[in-house]
Chains A and B, each alone.
Chain A
Amino acid sequence: MSGATARPPPVLSFKLLSVPATPFSPRLGLARLIRSSTEVIDVVTPGLFLHTSRGHVPHLSVDHISLMAKQMPWLHASFEGFLETLPPTPTLQPGPQPLHTFFGLPAASHIISLSLRDPADVQERPPDGDDYLSSMTIRGVRKIEPSFYRSYVSCVQPDIIIALSDIPFTLPPFSQKRMTKSIDRTIRWLGEILKSRPSMEITDNIRGNNIFVSLVGGTNAAARRAFSQNLLGPLEEGSNLSSVRPQTIPRLDDHISGYVLEMAQLRLELSASLSCGNDSSSTKEPTQAINQLLKASLSPLPADKLRVVHSSISPHEMLRLISLCGIDLFDSYWAQKAADWGIALDFSFPVSTSRDDTGPTRRSDGKRDVGHNLYHTGYAFDFRGLVGGPMHGCSCLACAPSFTKPIPHSSLEFVNDGCEEDAPAFTRAYIHHLLHTHEMSAHALLVSHNITVLQDFFAAIRSTLSADAPQFDTEVARFETEYDGDMRIIEEGRRAWEEVDCARGKGRLARERGTI
């Protein structure tokens, strides 16, 4: 395959900027990707990266992604969407930085991490085998062997590779035996990715790359601990020992630059085992159980490596994971998804003390929503911007749009001054209208807004942590008291979205047919 060129893989480093009191205390850090002496991309932590589908943030055009590059340079992609035709299209992309090029993202300003599966996708799928992972494509299930994955990633050159892991996607709960198998396979597959391959071209050696591993073990704390301990063990040479260069890799973990925690699958298993009541480790509050399980995974491992969480579900959970598990990076999946359901996020951290009535609804139990469900008819005449309260500073496409110089199409327009200037914010009423008329622009504006609100949230977390770390826990507690941690607004938005979508009855469809 083509793709691989002489350019050395970028180097990812992670440095803690504060000294955490315990291995699980909240911490400040800096993840830095050095591509060359002139191309350095920094991500401060606790921080965020974008969740993508087929390499794109749903609804956000490439020009908008590049506008956000400074704040959100890191995108996570999954390879599954490219497996419907083989060889996968991105592996055929010529030139340097094939994956960046394919996604239309300049390598100078974007970091791409790549996993095989979409960590947010927990649909049931056929079980993996000893030597393959079952991958879902629109053309059915594909069995992906670790060597395929290895060659794909060495071809497309993501900045960070998430090693394959055997996570059961059949119905939980899982037997002890299944868990052991999952751990064994994941360790073995990791070994295969890390092993050097004298039989292959040098370009297939991806050991110099930045590799993250997903910490598996399901809802069983002992299994999770066992998996992590395995990472500290020596890399077991496989059965094809004779063909391997007699070079030993001291420990698997030495070649790993970050740990990944996949919450979507964990949450699914947890709810299954809770309903069965057969798992002693998860009989407590689910949030507490999650913390325990993540700690079980992290405790055997060095504390100074990057900890990455996929598919968190709320700002509350993010705060808890930062505060109690010392998590460094999160994807913005839930906020992006909220944009699909018509939710405009509007919350502040630390909780604002000023009284105002422009913020989201306060429920009968006293909890305030973290956003506005703009499907609600109450917004039809609401000509305010998306965020209420004192923080009018949201810099998103909806709250702070700005005009750029237009493309001239004839010599006449060169004399016509296209002026670049700020535009008025889009209103709740307008987005309400767009949602009810199925206009895609609603989601483009909302996803930009929600990501920006989350970004501001993380900036506030960092500044609270750096100003007064003990105060952080107090603020987390205040946040939990103020805002609805059950995120009822999300479910309401999802239902409203469904209703409006169903209301696309005959009349509406006919109307759409005539106009779209």
Chain B
Amino acid sequence: MEFEIIAKCHTTHARVSRMTMTHGTTYLPTFMPVATQGAMKGLTSQQVEALGVTLILNNTYHLNLRPGTKVLDAAGGAHKFQGWRKNLLTDSGGFQMVSLSSFTKITEEGVLFASPYTGEPTMLTPEESIGIQHSIGADIIMQLDDVVHSLTTGPRVEEAMWRSIRWLDRCIAKHKSSGRTDRQNLFAIVQGGLSPDLRQKCLDEMVKRKDDLPGYAIGGLSGGEEKDIFWKIVKQCAEQLPEDRPRYCMGIGFAEDLLVCVALGVDMADCVFPTRTARFGVALTRDGPMNLRLDRHRTSFFPIDANCPCLTCSSGMSRAALHNLVTHETVAAHAITQHNLVFQASVMGGARDAIIEGRFPQYLKDFFQRYFADAAYPRWCVDALRSVNVDILEGIENPRIVEGKGAKWEYSNKIPKQKKP
């Protein structure tokens, strides 16, 4: 991997960088859409590339179940299998095992889980996780970590943190012995729950292994923890991680979360949210999420966003037309998915330009002012951005502020949970 910082924000910790791997260049900060099982929910790889996406995520747990490593090996890896020629990232599979398997037991050896097909106990070790990820062949692969829910407290959190470090060493050893370090880049995952102390210990250990690690992820967050704690942990991690390594915050997808994380020094994020919410008929816009199922869109004969370059908006497909299709035809999901991925990419692309041109603080202010115009500023966003010297309330008369999560979801009947891949 070649990683080069192009520009830094003079106020916040945000930066713009160029990350070049076997399958091309991805400019950071970026959002990575999730193609769990090797397809982006109804779209073809060509369509995804046309949206301006250069880095997507596949889930190791799922691809290992289907099609399995034998098929992937025979196909020559997941890129060829799904016809994707840009960069690809895979997770370790650990998170899904813990969250999706009915039975999971973690031992020093690895994760013991119930096979979803046979129900039999199956062991996934750090070495096996890396082995599977070698078959998939993603440009970025993740270490197997000992996942605990972000709300877990007590000694289990510390145990998981230390075990994740030991497993990192096993992953590094396995990866180095494979001879694939030139094609696949192993990222470590910083753990330590919501404790700054444990996070610090984990950071110290993992940074020591920097020579074997082309990048770092911040894990164990976005599991329903207080946003106030979330941003402080992200900030702590981003500040401590090496300047010359990309930083990936796992499971982040709301526009406000993305921009706060970018301001705190995060380069990459992923989430199923934009594609999943599309299937529920929710389009993302700079004015907040828009639930196209609601009756008030029935006679809106204009696009989701007239200025949006996506194929849905530029074809003139109206909100009314989408309202009529949502929940009846998959075409609506495809159309909104395309729009949402372009929206995510444009929020991040806009951030890149703003950072390069030295106007990122203003970009943040403008974005938040518009996004929350008919709602209230989430307190945690205000605080997080103040911690990096941007006051998004500056010049706003009598700003409305809301405590707690403050995510804009009054539009939607269904509140999607954010999840780590």
Establish whether residues B75 and A104, one from each chain, have CB atoms under 8 Å apart when the complex forms.
no
- Cβ of B46 under 8 Å from chain A: yes
Residue interface mask A412-441, B partner, CB < 8 A = 1:
110010100001101101101110110111
Q: List residues of chain B with CB within 8 A of the CB of A516.
A: 36, 41, 272, 276, 279
Establish whether residues A444 and B37, one from each chain, have CB atoms under 8 Å apart when the complex forms.
no
Establish whether residues A61 and B47, one from each chain, have CB atoms under 8 Å apart when the complex forms.
yes
Establish whether residues A401 and B334, one from each chain, have CB atoms under 8 Å apart when the complex forms.
no
Q: List residues of chain A with CB within 8 A of the CB of B352.
A: 409-412
* Whole-angstrom distance between the Cβ of B305 and the nearest chain A Cβ: 13
- Cβ of B346 under 8 Å from chain A: yes
* Whole-angstrom distance between the Cβ of B216 and the nearest chain A Cβ: 23
A-B CB contacts (within 8 Å), total count: 221
CB proximity to A under 8 Å, residues B148-186: none
Q: List residues of chain A with CB within 8 A of the CB of B272.
A: 515-516
- Cβ of A381 under 8 Å from chain B: yes
Establish whether residues A407 and B42, one from each chain, have CB atoms under 8 Å apart when the complex forms.
no
Establish whether residues B320 and A102, one from each chain, have CB atoms under 8 Å apart when the complex forms.
yes
Bound CA span A162–B38, Å: 43
Establish whether residues B37 and A433, one from each chain, have CB atoms under 8 Å apart when the complex forms.
yes
CB proximity to B under 8 Å, residues A77-134: 81-82, 85, 89, 92-95, 101-104
The listed residue (B43, B323, B329, B419) touching A444 by CB distance below 8 A is: B43
Establish whether residues A411 and B353, one from each chain, have CB atoms under 8 Å apart when the complex forms.
yes
Q: List residues of chain A with CB within 8 A of the CB of B23.
A: none
CB proximity to B under 8 Å, residues A483-511: 507-508, 510-511
Establish whether residues A430 and B38, one from each chain, have CB atoms under 8 Å apart when the complex forms.
yes
- Cβ of B13 under 8 Å from chain A: no
The listed residue (B37, B49, B301) touching A92 by CB distance below 8 A is: B301
Q: List residues of chain A with CB within 8 A of the CB of B51.
A: 406-407
The listed residue (B37, B45, B47) touching A439 by CB distance below 8 A is: B37
Establish whether residues B66 and A403, one from each chain, have CB atoms under 8 Å apart when the complex forms.
no
Bound CA span A418–B48, Å: 13
CB proximity to A under 8 Å, residues B79-101: 80-83, 85, 96, 99-100
Q: List residues of chain B with CB within 8 A of the CB of A255.
A: none
- Cβ of B312 under 8 Å from chain A: yes
* Whole-angstrom distance between the Cβ of A85 and the nearest chain B Cβ: 7
Bound CA span A405–B50, Å: 6
- Cβ of A190 under 8 Å from chain B: no
Bound CA span A507–B114, Å: 10
Bound CA span A176–B75, Å: 62
Establish whether residues B47 and A63, one from each chain, have CB atoms under 8 Å apart when the complex forms.
yes
* Whole-angstrom distance between the Cβ of A54 and the nearest chain B Cβ: 6
Establish whether residues B37 and A437, one from each chain, have CB atoms under 8 Å apart when the complex forms.
yes
- Cβ of B310 under 8 Å from chain A: yes
Q: List residues of chain B with CB within 8 A of the CB of A242.
A: none
Establish whether residues A423 and B83, one from each chain, have CB atoms under 8 Å apart when the complex forms.
yes
A381-B44 contact, Cβ under 8 Å, with A58-B330, A66-B315, A516-B276: no
Bound CA span A116–B220, Å: 55
Bound CA span A442–B318, Å: 26
- Cβ of B311 under 8 Å from chain A: yes
- Cβ of B407 under 8 Å from chain A: no
Establish whether residues A381 and B74, one from each chain, have CB atoms under 8 Å apart when the complex forms.
yes
Establish whether residues B44 and A433, one from each chain, have CB atoms under 8 Å apart when the complex forms.
no
A103-B321 contact, Cβ under 8 Å, with A412-B6, A515-B272: yes
- Cβ of A142 under 8 Å from chain B: no
CB proximity to B under 8 Å, residues A142-167: none
- Cβ of A404 under 8 Å from chain B: yes
The listed residue (A411, A423, A424, A444) touching B334 by CB distance below 8 A is: A444
Residue interface mask B1-14, A partner, CB < 8 A = 1:
00000100000000
- Cβ of B309 under 8 Å from chain A: yes
- Cβ of A60 under 8 Å from chain B: yes
The listed residue (A443, A510, A515) touching B330 by CB distance below 8 A is: A443
- Cβ of B401 under 8 Å from chain A: no
- Cβ of A263 under 8 Å from chain B: no
Establish whether residues A54 and B349, one from each chain, have CB atoms under 8 Å apart when the complex forms.
no
CB proximity to A under 8 Å, residues B323-353: 323-325, 328-331, 333-335, 338, 342, 345-346, 348-350, 352-353
Establish whether residues A439 and B99, one from each chain, have CB atoms under 8 Å apart when the complex forms.
no
Establish whether residues A441 and B39, one from each chain, have CB atoms under 8 Å apart when the complex forms.
yes
Establish whether residues B83 and A61, one from each chain, have CB atoms under 8 Å apart when the complex forms.
no
Q: Which residue of A lies closest to B419 (CB)?
A: A514
10 more contacts with CB within 8 A, not counting A409-B345, A412-B353, are: A56-B331, A59-B330, A81-B324, A402-B46, A410-B350, A411-B356, A426-B44, A429-B81, A430-B38, A516-B276
8 examples of A-B residue contacts, CB within 8 angstroms:
A59-B42, A104-B315, A381-B74, A410-B353, A412-B16, A441-B43, A444-B42, A515-B36
User: A residues bordering B, Cβ < 8 Å?
Assistant: 53-63, 66, 81-82, 85, 89, 92-95, 101-104, 380-381, 383, 397, 401-413, 416, 418, 423-424, 426-427, 429-430, 432-434, 436-437, 439-445, 507-508, 510-511, 514-516
